[in-house]
Amino acid sequence: MSAARHRRRRAWLERASEALGLIPELGPGDAALEPLVEPGEPLLKFPPEAQWDDWSEYDSQAWPRRQLRQRMLVPTTCFNCESACGLLAYVDKETGQVQRFEGNPRHPASRGRTCAKGPATINQIHDPDRILFPLKRKGARGEGGWERIGWEQALAEIGGRIGRALTEGRRNEVVYHVGRPGHEGYMDRVLRAWGVDGHNSHTNVCSGAARFGYALWQKYDRPSPDYSHAKFILLISAHLESGHYFNPHAQRIVEGMLAGAELAVLDPRLSNTASRATYWLPTQPGSEAAVLLAMAKILLDEGLVDRRFVERWVNWRDYLRRSTSATAAGAGPAAEPRFDDFLARLAADYAEFTPEFAAAESGVPASQIVAVARRIGAAGSAFACHTWRAAGSGNLGGWAVARAMQLLTVLTGSLGTRGGTSPSGWNKFVPDLPLNPPAQKLWNELHFPREWPLCHYEMSFVLPHLLREGRGRLDTYFTRVFNPVWTYPDGFAWIEMLTDESKVGCHVALTPTWNETAFFADYVLPMGHGSERHDLNSYETHDALWIAFRQPVLREALRRQGKTVERTWQANPGEVWEEDEFWIDLSWRIDPDGALGVRKHFESPSRPGQPLSVDEYYGHIFERVPGLPEAAAQERLSPLGYMRRYGAFEVKSSCLLQHEDALAPEAAARGAADAEGRWLTPQGAVLGVVQDGVPRKGFPTPSGRLELDSGTMRDWGWPEYSRPVYVRSHVHPSRLDRARGEFVLLPTFRLPNLIHSRSGNAKWLAEISHRNPVWVNREDAARLGLATDDLVRVETEIGHFVDKVWVTEAVKPGVVCCSHHIGRWRRSQDPRANRWAVNTVRLARNGSVWTMSTVAGIEPGDNADPDTRRIWWRDGGVHQNITHAVHPDPVSGMHCWHQKVRVVKAGPDDRYGDVAVDMARSQQVFREWRALTRPDAGPPNLRRPLWFNRPLRPADEAYRRTV
């Protein structure tokens, strides 16, 4: 069909308007496009892959002229949350710039879709205020002075410091603290090569508690629901709109619902997720485990249990044997355990969790709890559920929520089934890394302190408190896409830590954009957004196993044009770099002659004496991905070439029921069965479990089965928590005095279009959401005499913040909410950046009390982006997290985010955005929570249970304490 046939005929009105000069000339333009489909055929959703190298489209900016542009479509992955959805960068061939981002249809998890944050990457990379060059501070740390330096200077100075620390035996003083990881194993490899136990992460302000609850059952510490095929879905939190793996999960939840699944949501807030639910259960914060255990009781009482699954795969014999009241049920400790006795014992143990009890704790009607439990039972093996942050991260004992939720999965036999919930590890690819160093033999007590021997992830949020007590020092401290001054509780403690050079010798902030923590750095090193860096991604988004490749798209576009780029910063805007190459080059500066044994892990295998290249690194990995070399060969590509072209690869299309897999012959040959049916090596390591006479994989736990009874909890001092339990939260209603104006503050909920602290330079996102009022229920507002937009003072344990009120029915009475995404700030001496979202504030300290007051809200300004002059909003919200004390859970170590607060009308001296915090009180609250721990209850001289995973796992010998 000729292009001419598709030229649009202009209406007479258009022709007349053109002639009169009322509108610009509409055409014919410089060319016309061939149609992609014939009239009547289905429209294409994406440009055909065959045209990705040379794609013609009209320039939207040239309208009303029809001006054709030639684009090259280069895949990468989004870096704006943990999901790593596939993006296609439309690179303009004439300007060499990225014109926009859309979804990559080849990506198995996101399937061509994105949320608002994916396409907004274009805002971030074109932000005129972004950090484009390496900077070094001028003047005192935190004073606000900066000078531009080159990468070579930064590498030499930082590498020299680290080299000296390693040489002088101060290896635990070198620390890498990560906010958004976004890669698979890269940093573990780097830190192991350096021989440091230097990994710190944000997990214990995020998902550490839920992970702990899952890990007690099965070692794998996350759920992987198969929503698409579920008959019933249970979510704790606003998972559909803002959850972990947000877009991949959301589209599959909707897919499941369109196929008939029902959705139940536990959330004190009427989120957009709850508004889509079949059943919304507005639970009292912290009561979730009580509700879940009541549902478990209904499954037990009404015979809705998958007996075969539980009998085969749960350590019920241990449960029965260790149950203190087993004798009363007729099965004494010496008797051969019988499954029916176990079920009777279990039902008896949970007898107290009646629907009425759960209703009293949660405020949800008992009939609703019963109805949901029955629907779960009816769904059976097609019951999918998920909890992650929310209740788990909010409450003392929040880990018990995930443990109770997993009990429902176990009782219904929906673990690892189609429509059920798999362990995370089954859907996550583990790469084979090149030149991989051995595990370090050190243990860093600043990250894994002895007071929390069960903590599953680093106790990162108490780092300033530990340093304040003189328990260590950091020589070189990297913060990487990480902003604890703003995102963490107790941010003033971080400011104090970072400005004290006796505690932190050198702070290096690796960041794509200015943030509150980078203001207190010695070096600010610009690192790329999702289209400016390399990373390997693989996440448990659904029933499959996939990998995706984040790549610097301009570098890849130049490569396709036959141009060689030595380092990614030469292709990116300014000198924005990427961590992969930075760590390689830094490692060479740490160990220039190879004497420390570091450099050999970063040398090219094919070019002696040269640094490892990213092509060699990823080429090694991709050549070892099952099926990828064959798929690539079919297209006459190398595995790396395939990933550069398509950006993603599905390794397996389904991964269910792996616990039933027979052990591989070589593993089976290494073991033998014990009396419990475990398949053990001669050294006692569990390889699997015998079922039907066959040694099968089972689960990587001490029993080889799902641990309903946790011997670990008994051995480490928490016998009362050895089975799924309900722990009353620190914000339980019995601990609140409503007459005094006390509320539970929920400070954790996400806004779907914002990133923790990286959306400040995404204008589209900030325009949608830029204020965080306190949600107050209508009843409470009437009692307190509050109306929308009134000012309130929200008093925490250590200070207060002043915010506006939003009166609403969308939150339970007695509970107030405030989104944590908003309230970004800079001081007047700090660089002008993130202008879409940042207030200008004044910080002051008087004795032990810090204050923050807003000097100016968001304002229009002048820079290269004309939209900056069009900023119409002035309200940048309030920084609430900085007024929260740290609440380390005594078992999991997770920060318990919910706050007991007093909400009162603002006084005459209170101003919107005011913050005050007493640091003496902050340290006191830390100590009060630490006093809840049982540090010496575990086996002597063992730091942690050996079977537990931990980030950057050291050699087993490091788990043993020598002093």
When asked if residue 180 is in the footprint of ligand SF4 (CB under 6 A), the reply is no
Q: Which is closer to ligand SF4, CB of 84 or CB of 411?
A: 84
Any long-range contacts for 162-169 (C-beta under 8 Å, 24+ apart)? 162/194, 162/475, 162/476, 162/586, 162/590, 163/589, 163/590, 163/591, 163/592, 163/596, 165/475, 165/476, 166/194, 166/195, 166/196, 166/590, 166/596, 166/598, 167/596
120 vs 663 by CB, closer to ligand SF4: 120
What CA dihedral angle connects 281, 284, 285 and 290, to 10 degrees? -80
- Please report how close the Cβ of residue 237 comes to ligand SF4 at its closest, in angstroms: 15
Q: Is 107 in the site for ligand SF4 (CB under 6 A)?
A: no
Nearer to ligand SF4, 687 or 751 (CB): 751
Strand order in the sheet with 279-281: 279-281, 262-266, 232-236, 383-386
Q: Identify which of residues 112 and 831 has a Cβ nearer to ligand SF4 in the complex.
A: 112
Please give the distance of CA 288 from its chain centroid, rounded to a whole number.
22
Class of residue 53 by CB neighbours under 10 A (exposed 0-12, middle 13-18, buried 19+) = middle
Residue 481 lies near ligand SF4 (rule: CB under 6 A) = no
* Segment interacting with ligand SF4, rule: CB under 6 A, options 107-115, 471-479, 766-774, 779-787: 107-115
Give the number of residues in contact with ligand SF4, rule: CB under 6 A: 13
**Element (H or E) spanning 258, and its range?**
helix 246-258
The pattern of x and - marking residues 50 through 79 that bind ligand SF4 according to CB under 6 A reads ----------------------------x-
Cross-strand bridge partners of residue 547: 649
Where do we find the tokens 């995930």? 402
**Residues numbered 608-637 forming contacts with ligand SF4, rule: CB under 6 A:** none
Query: Quick one: which segment of 111-119, 280-288, 395-403, 546-554 binds ligand SF4 (CB under 6 A)?
Result: 111-119
Cα radius of gyration rounded to whole Å, the chain? 29
Selection from 277, 310, 97, 203 nearest residue 895 by Cα: 203
What whole-number distance in Å separates Cα of residue 141 and Cα of residue 474? 15
Residue whose CB is less far from ligand SF4, 110 or 710: 110
Contact window for ligand SF4 (CB under 6 A) among 15-23, 55-63, 115-123, 467-475? 115-123
The nearer residue to ligand SF4, 81 or 786, going by C-beta atoms, is 81
User: Do 189 and 601 contact (CB within 8 A), yes or no?
Assistant: yes
Instruction: Look up residue 429 and give its DSSP letter.
Output: -
Cβ neighbours of 324 (radius 10 Å): 9
Considering only 81, 154, 545, 754, the residue that binds ligand SF4 (CB under 6 A) is 81
**Nearest distance from residue 617's CB to ligand SF4, in Å?**
23
CB-nearer residue toward ligand SF4: 125 or 299: 125
Tokens of 661: 């897999």
Nearest approach, Cβ of 223 to ligand SF4 (angstroms)?
A: 18
**Which CB sits closer to ligand SF4, 118 or 159?**
118
Q: Does 417 bind ligand SF4 (CB under 6 A)?
A: no
Output 78 or 343, the one with its CB closest to ligand SF4.
78
Task: Spell out the SS3 assignment of 932-944.
Answer: CCCCCCCCCCECC
Residue 554 CB, nearest distance to ligand SF4 (Å)?
Answer: 19
Residue 461 burial (CB count, 10 A): 26
Q: Is the dihedral of CA 774, 778, 783, 788 positive or negative?
A: positive
The residue among 85 and 545 lying less far from ligand SF4, judged by its C-beta, is 85
Q: What are the residues whose beta carbons fall under 8 Å from the beta carbon of 625, sequence distance 6 or more? A: 429, 431, 547, 639, 649, 651
The binding track of 193-232 with respect to ligand SF4, each residue x by CB under 6 A or -, is ----------------------------------------
- To ligand SF4, the closest distance from the beta carbon of 185 in angstroms equals 19
Closest to 461 measured CA to CA, from 802, 179, 135: 179
Between 89 and 304, name the residue whose CB sits nearer to ligand SF4: 89
8 A C-beta contact, residue 437 and residue 192: yes
Nearer to ligand SF4, 81 or 382 (CB): 81
Residue 392, phi then psi, degrees to nearest 5: -60, -40
Per the structure block, which two tokens stand in for 177? 């603290």
Tell whether the torsion through CA atoms of 183, 188, 194 and 196 is positive or negative.
positive
247 near ligand SF4 (CB under 6 A)? yes
Nearer residue to ligand SF4 within complex by CB, 246 or 836: 246
Query: Does the footprint of ligand SF4 cover residue 115 (CB under 6 A)?
Result: yes
Q: Which of 76, 104, 114, 381 touches ligand SF4 by CB under 6 A? A: 114
Min. distance of Cβ 764 from ligand SF4 in angstroms?
Answer: 13
Rank residues 89 and 612 by Cβ distance to ligand SF4 and give the closer one.
Answer: 89
Q: For the purposes of burial, counting CB atoms within 10 Å of the CB of 416, is it exposed (0-12), middle (13-18) or buried (19 or more)?
A: buried
Residue from 71, 75, 83, 751 in contact with ligand SF4 (CB under 6 A): 83
Minimum CB separation of residue 36 from ligand SF4 in Å reads: 25
Q: Answer yes or no whether residue 246 interacts with ligand SF4 by CB under 6 A.
A: yes
Does position 757 bind ligand SF4 by CB under 6 A? no
Angle at the Cα of 353 (from 341 to 281), degrees rounded to 5? 130
- Determine the residue type at 20: L
| Binders of ligand SF4 in range 732-751 (CB under 6 A) | none
**Distance between CA atoms of 77 and 549, rounded to whole angstroms?**
7
- Residue 118 CB, shortest distance to ligand SF4, in Å, is 3
Residue 215 corresponds to which amino acid? Answer: A
Here the tokens at position 814 are: 């007695």
User: Which range, of 110-118, 793-801, 832-840, 900-908, touches ligand SF4 by CB under 6 A?
Assistant: 110-118
Q: Name which of 80 and 483 has its Cβ closer to ligand SF4.
A: 80
Paired residues of 915 in beta bridges: 801, 852
Q: Note whether 513 binds ligand SF4 by CB under 6 A.
A: no
Binding mask 641-680 for ligand SF4 (x = CB under 6 A): ----------------------------------------
118 binds ligand SF4 per the rule CB under 6 A: yes
CB of 153 to ligand SF4, least distance (A): 34
- Within 849-908, the residues that bind ligand SF4 by CB under 6 A are none
Question: With CB under 6 A as the contact rule, which of the stretches 108-116, 637-645, 803-811, 944-952 interacts with ligand SF4?
Answer: 108-116
- State the nearest-atom distance from the C-beta of 273 to ligand SF4, in Å: 14
- Which of residues 304 and 548 has its CB atom nearest to ligand SF4 in the complex? 548
Asked whether position 80 contacts ligand SF4 by CB under 6 A, the answer is yes
User: What region does 693 belong to: left with phi over 0, alpha with psi -120 to 50, or beta?
Assistant: left
Taking the complex as a whole, the smallest distance from the CB of residue 541 to ligand SF4 amounts, in Å, to 10
Question: Which amino acid makes up residue 738?
Answer: R
CA distance 284 to 400: 15
Closest contact distance (angstroms) between CB of 243 and ligand SF4 is 9
Binder among 73, 84, 230, 408 for ligand SF4 (CB under 6 A): 84
Closer by beta carbon to ligand SF4, 81 or else 815 = 81
> Which listed residue (85, 165, 296, 915) binds ligand SF4 by CB under 6 A?
85
764-789 burial: b if 16+ Cβ within 10 Å, else e: bbbbebbbbbbbbbeebbeebebeee
Q: Which residues of the shown chain bind ligand SF4 in the complex (CB under 6 A)?
A: 78, 80-81, 83-85, 110, 114-115, 117-118, 246-247
